[in-house]
Amino acid sequence: MERTRYIEKSTGKWWRRSGWSNSPTKGLIITLTKWEDKGFETAIYLSEKEVEERFEFKPFPKEVMNIEEVVPRHPIHIVLHCPECGSILEPDGGVILTSPPQYEHHCSNKDCQYGKCTNSYYSGMYALVTDEQEERLREGTYNEHRDGRLIEVSESDLWTFKK
């Protein structure tokens, strides 16, 4: 939801609309809080008429949009192998909701107990990557915060991508 801002006519202080309610007796009641207030410590409750008298509505201007060239991306299939026995690492099926997300893996060899957590990618994932991202993935130095996010695609999407 877009933040709405108001400037108080008498003081020049900034306020934001943090809510509203409809009272059967008083009509529309608008809740304003000071701009820097994160909670409702400075909340005031005013009618529409009072807001119009004391405040001036100052909407944000339209955002600036820059159109930039897209770095070419190409599809890859990521398959992780166990460093202990060489078997394929399989994702455990879940994701740990961190930023970036983490995927738990275990070795497909029942005799091997190897496990690993990876950030931003998982074994069996199809992704669109730049040349730099692919290089960093192969080196094991890929970092989503530094190298950019991977774009995940499904296997069926690859056929339309290649056309």
For 61-75, what is each residue's pLDDT tens digit? 887 888 877 778 889
Cα–Cα distance, 145 to 1 (Å, whole number): 26
User: What are 123's two structure tokens?
Assistant: 């074994």
Count the neighbouring beta carbons within 10 Å of the beta carbon of residue 129. 22
Strands 55-57 and 115-119: what pairing? unpaired
- Our measurement of the distance from residue 94's CA atom to the centroid of its chain's CA atoms, rounded to an integer in Å, reads 19
The residue with greater pLDDT, 34 or 161, is: 34
Share of the chain above pLDDT 70, in %: 96
Chain segment 6-64, per-residue pLDDT in tens: 999 999 999 998 888 888 888 889 889 998 887 778 889 999 899 999 999 998 888 78
> 159, exposed or middle or buried, with CB in 10 Å at 0-12, 13-18, 19+?
exposed
Q: Tens digits of per-residue pLDDT, 23-35?
A: 888 888 988 999 8
